[in-house]
Structure 1
Amino acid sequence: MTSAARTPLASLYPELDPAALNAFVAALRSGDVTGLAPARAAEVAEARSVAVFTRGKVTGADGDLLDAALWRHTGVRPRPLIVMPSPWTDLGWLPYAVQATLFATRGYNVLAYTARGFAGSEGQVEMAGPLDVADGSRALDHLIERSPGPVTKVGFLGASYGSGISQLVAAHDARVDAVVALSTWGDLGEVLHENSTLHVAAVRALLGAASKARLSPRTRSVLDNVLDGRDIAGTLRWAQPRSPFGKVKELNRRQVPVFFSHAWHETLFPTNQTVRMFDELTGPKRLDLSIGDHCGPEMPGMLGLPNRIWADAHRWFDHHLMGIDNGVDAEGQVLSEVMWSRTLEPRPTWPSLTEHVHRLYLADAGELAEEPEAGWTAGVLCGVDTPATVADEVVLSGRAETADRPTTYPTGDIDRAVTAVWACAPVTETTRLRGTPRLRVTYRAANPGSGFVAYLFDTAPDGSARIVTHAPYTDLDSPPDSLVSADIDLQATAYDIPRGHRVMLVIDARDPFYGDANLPRATLAFTSPEATPSCLDLPLG
């Protein structure tokens, strides 16, 4: 079992330095920049020359007081506003200190606040529930009341937890003119229950990072139910109003401009549910996809370092809130950072990433073949963990990817006696995977509940591999000893398979990232019916 299943993270943002951020805030208040890095000291001096920084409380829903910070210009000329709900952290609004200051120096009045139940805010954590949405509108009221001049336009920006709240507030409050949602979710139900599979490692990570927060009894009950496999229908009902995907009509009716950022190997909020949300939006939109995991690509900006995602967020608001003609609308809706060249590829739309689809068939003797082959059987033993896994650790493995240290998988150590493995011939030229791979398989399960995890690897000639993408699948409805047909989307990707490498598909029955519906030591027998052959569709660009 990997550490992802054993050790909850104390923070989803381990790089953040509370002492350094608090020193930055203290300098904003006092003007004393002693001990700050030169760049931070210059930012403090510039911000203090144009705006006043204060700490305070926002009166949220039900009268609960929310900890907040305000960057306010004293002049009476019209200005746009930005509200920033906090991430899922006991640091509250503090991670925004540097970026909120930079927005203030660009002419915005800014309010950053701590979501209810975290750090210095009263109330209980509702996980983007109706009270959180009402809090966002109250925070906007608070900022408008303290802006000395007329308000032109309003933006909401959030990272992680704050990103979901920002989208939901924009859907409910017609005063919001644009959104920036970093490392975000669209469908919370799919985050917790992807392809009917319980996302237990993500829930453990969320609980570990909120160990000091005050979760509402209902929130705690729902998350515990995911860990224990109880009341899935109730969990999905609870998640529905917390899912921006259910509010797409409201956002589209007002054509709210929305900027998304996301990581390809996101272990908390699977990429596909955010892409699906993005693809349904009809207003101005942009999706920036990067190497790494949850909030890793954006983290340098939170630390005050140069960062293209935060730079694009500033440009997004400058264009849609200030009316600056900076060309952001002409750059295409999607920007992909390709693994592992780090090439940045703009595309006009999400579907345009994929130029055509190459189908490979699962065949006998572990081959990914060009033609279908029926009659074979490949067994997978349940209850056994293997070196094929989503990642070594939630969030942290993706941080290593961001630093150019991706996990190397020894494919020779994957026991073919307990897994099913297929590989294609070495590719003769670089294969550009762009979009959403799809897998269709048929298997027989003796027990009424069954499931598996499918992994796609880039395998070098020496047998070492890097993970390209994956997806879980669970079936709880089929009777025992019946054939189960599974058609699933693997998580979207932009990945270059080098010449001489192989695409390898691995299916096993257990991964500590997910709940396990199988009986221990049961067997899943994969096959390929002649009428519906098992196949892998690779999106090529």
Structure 2
Amino acid sequence: MTPAARTPQPPQGPQTPFSLYPELDANALNAYVTALESGDVTGLSPARAAEVAEVRAVVVFTRGKVTGADGDLLDAALWRHTGGLPRPLIVMPSPWTSLGWLVYAVQAGIFAARGYNVLAYTTRGFPGSEGQVEVAGPLDVVDGSRALDHLIERTAGPVTRIGFLGDSYGSGISQLVAAHDTRVDAVVALSSWGDLGEAFYENSTRHVEAVRALLKAAEKARLSPQTQSVFDNVLANRDVQGTLAWAETRSPFTHIKELNRRQVPVLYAHAWHETLFPANQTLKMFNELTGPKRMVLSIGDHSGPESSGMFGLPNRIWTEAHRWFDHHLKEIENGIGDEGQVLSEVMWNQTLEPRPTWPSLTEHIHRLHLAGSGELAEAPEAGWTATVLCGVDTPATVADAVVLSGYAEMAGRPKVYPTGEIDRSVAAVWASAPVEETTRLRGTPKLRVTYRAPNPGSAFVAYLLDMAPDGTAHIVTHAPYTDLDSPPDSLISADIDLQATAYDVPRGNRLMLVIDARDPFYGDANLPRATLAFTSPEATPSYLDLPLG
């Protein structure tokens, strides 16, 4: 069976396991690996058979085990050149999937055919490997170094430079290994996190749907008791400080001084509408790195933009990964070091825009004020109140489903929001005048809003929509907010960053800001049927800052 690009379908029943990689065909990947081992390409397409022959002509492929921390055996595969020439090495920790290292089989072969020795391994606790899932804990960091030891011992000639590459779960582990193991010279981190605590608790709001998705995708894995406890605590709203302390050691941002001390080059690839690891916490990490760095931002959701490349299909994310390692591990002058730190794909025209730095995306800020008339106005207006009823969902939501909604976006079918069906008693809504020319949003929108909550715990979600003249809209960006500390019936001022974006609002469309008190993606701190009363004090007016490029 030959892998082919296709639009994944939602699970059809309770027997269908949830996967963060719904488009990957395990049978096709296994057939490819079997052909690598045996040389029998029966059943493969001519193109795929040629790829197998190319890899087998230059490297020896073997499956085996890596002895990780505490003696646990980790399932692994090795692509090894037999000659004594100096070679660069690549280690690839697996993503959060029961497929393990198999996800990397095709790309590892491509790297090997281009001169690298490669080892891909299944992270501890996932099928094929011993141990328990620690979520990029200290044992996972040791595993990465042991995998590198294994690869070095089986490399025939001198080792030149070393890279770690990971997608999703493997990307966080790759950064952490690079921070702790001075042998690592460069990193590629696809769909990664920088601050895991912020990914789980954005603006103090629990990412419950993300945690549910991680648990579903790990149904065949063996979670450590601590891992299970942390995930359960996020869902049950227990021991927030304990979870944040657990996440701190697992956050590359915590160890950024070591990466900066050695000036480790890091390439990130991320999706604008990422629902597992929202972009802002990774951008925080990216902006603090002082060594060579590059951020590639794309339409879609977690791991979607790079997934077609896992079958060896043309894919610009993997092309960037190869160029990054060719430059930093092989010292090839391929121009990537001179192309700027940021390459972003604009929604929805798919234009690619290079920029020298992240701040350079934003040329100026346009402030719109929240007015009592429901307008996003040029001047501030005080004294109004907009009441939001808690406990009721609205058509304004983050997405229809984790991961799957991103594939629809990549296929040019983003979710359509019927703004006329948003109940104004359940949500507060403001809209701008029709834009007179294409409005280029580039960067991080910021929202300041003041509200009164009758209870000590309160939460809301703000959505920025692009509304067409017919009232239908697409989501530009959003962010949740939770307050747990203010006394009842006090005014609360919320200053929040919406998730970063690169979005062109067409001429004649309006920007719409929707604030409601419930979204299935997030934990809800409100009491049912309570109300949040939004307002705009004269001293601290409520406004929306739009980053324009």
Query: Which TM bucket (shorter chain)?
Result: over 0.9
Q: 1:110 aligns with which of 97, 106, 118?
A: 118
CA-CA distance at 1:34 after TM superposition: 1.1
- 1:181 — aligned with what? 189
CA distance in 2, matches of 1:410, 1:37: 45
CA distance in 1, matches of 2:326, 2:508: 46
Is 1:229 paired with 2:234?
Answer: no
Q: 5 Å matches for 1:402-413?
A: 402-413=410-421
SS at 1:19 equivalent: helix
Q: Deviations over 1:194-240 (max 9, x none)?
A: 10000000000000000010000000000000000000000000000
- 2:430 — aligned with what? 422
- 1:140 — aligned with what? 148
* % identical aligned pairs: 80
CA distance in 2, matches of 1:330, 1:401: 30
CA distance in 2, matches of 1:158, 1:41: 26
- 1:130 — aligned with what? 138
Q: Deviations over 1:247-304 (max 9, x none)?
A: 1110000000000000000000011000110000010000000000000000110022
What is the letter of the counterpart of residue 534 of structure 1?
S
CA-CA distance at 1:39 after TM superposition: 2.1
Q: 1:523 to 1:198 in 2, by over 3 A?
A: same
SS at 2:478 equivalent: strand
Q: 5 Å matches for 1:328-343?
A: 328-343=336-351
- 2:471 — aligned with what? 463
Q: Deviations over 1:82-115 (max 9, x none)?
A: 0000000001100000000000000000000000
CA-CA distance at 1:9 after TM superposition: 6.6
Q: 5 Å matches for 1:279-358?
A: 279-358=287-366
Q: 2:529 aligns with which of 512, 521, 525?
A: 521
What is the letter of the counterpart of residue 305 of structure 1?
L
What is the letter of the counterpart of residue 445 of structure 2?
P
What is the letter of the counterpart of residue 516 of structure 1?
D
Whether contact under 8 Å (1:186, 1:273) holds in the other structure is: yes
Q: 1:162 aligns with which of 167, 170, 184?
A: 170
Q: Deviations over 1:140-193 (max 9, x none)?
A: 000000001000000000000000000000000000000000000000001111
SS at 2:305 equivalent: coil
SS at 2:503 equivalent: strand
CA distance in 1, matches of 2:523, 2:466: 26
CA-CA distance at 1:38 after TM superposition: 2.2
CA-CA distance at 1:55 after TM superposition: 0.3
Q: Deviations over 1:327-379 (max 9, x none)?
A: 01000000000001100000000000000000000001110000000000000
- 1:531 — aligned with what? 539
CA distance in 1, matches of 2:325, 2:536: 51
SS at 2:60 equivalent: strand
Q: Name structure 1 gaps, 5 residues minimum.
A: none
Structure 1 runs (4+) deviating above 6 angstroms are 6-9
CA-CA distance at 1:307 after TM superposition: 0.2
- 1:488 — aligned with what? 496
Q: 1:451 aligns with which of 459, 462, 475?
A: 459
Q: 1:412 to 1:9 in 2, by over 3 A?
A: farther
- 2:5 — aligned with what? none
SS at 1:179 equivalent: strand
Is 1:363 paired with 2:367?
Answer: no
Is 1:191 paired with 2:199?
Answer: yes
CA distance in 2, matches of 1:155, 1:444: 51
What is the letter of the counterpart of residue 168 of structure 1?
L
What is the letter of the counterpart of residue 119 of structure 1?
P
Q: 5 Å matches for 1:2-401?
A: 10-401=18-409
CA distance in 2, matches of 1:529, 1:358: 20
Whether contact under 8 Å (1:337, 1:343) holds in the other structure is: yes
CA distance in 2, matches of 1:257, 1:116: 26
CA-CA distance at 1:36 after TM superposition: 1.1
CA-CA distance at 1:417 after TM superposition: 1.2
Q: 1:293 to 1:9 in 2, by over 3 A?
A: farther
SS at 2:408 equivalent: helix
SS at 2:100 equivalent: coil
CA-CA distance at 1:37 after TM superposition: 2.0
| TM-score normalized with structure 2 length | 0.97
What is the letter of the counterpart of residue 115 of structure 2?
G
CA distance in 2, matches of 1:174, 1:133: 12
SS at 1:322 equivalent: coil
CA distance in 1, matches of 2:222, 2:36: 29
| TM-score normalized with structure 1 length | 0.99
What is the letter of the counterpart of residue 289 of structure 2?
L
SS at 1:249 equivalent: helix
What is the letter of the counterpart of residue 324 of structure 2?
W
What is the letter of the counterpart of residue 402 of structure 1?
M
SS at 1:246 equivalent: helix
- May I ask how many residue pairs the two structures share in their alignment? 538
Q: Deviations over 1:446-479 (max 9, x none)?
A: 0110010000000000000000000000000000
SS at 2:329 equivalent: helix
What is the letter of the counterpart of residue 392 of structure 1?
D
SS at 2:95 equivalent: coil
SS at 1:365 equivalent: coil
CA distance in 1, matches of 2:55, 2:65: 21
Whether contact under 8 Å (1:437, 1:491) holds in the other structure is: yes
Whether contact under 8 Å (1:459, 1:465) holds in the other structure is: yes
CA distance in 2, matches of 1:28, 1:250: 38
Is 1:440 paired with 2:448?
Answer: yes
Q: CA RMSD in A?
A: 1.2
Whether contact under 8 Å (1:383, 1:509) holds in the other structure is: yes
Q: Deviations over 1:378-413 (max 9, x none)?
A: 000000000000000011001110111110000000
CA distance in 2, matches of 1:9, 1:492: 32
SS at 1:93 equivalent: helix
Whether contact under 8 Å (1:9, 1:205) holds in the other structure is: no
- 1:505 — aligned with what? 513
What is the letter of the counterpart of residue 123 of structure 1?
G
What is the letter of the counterpart of residue 191 of structure 2?
S
CA distance in 2, matches of 1:287, 1:42: 33
CA distance in 1, matches of 2:284, 2:44: 42
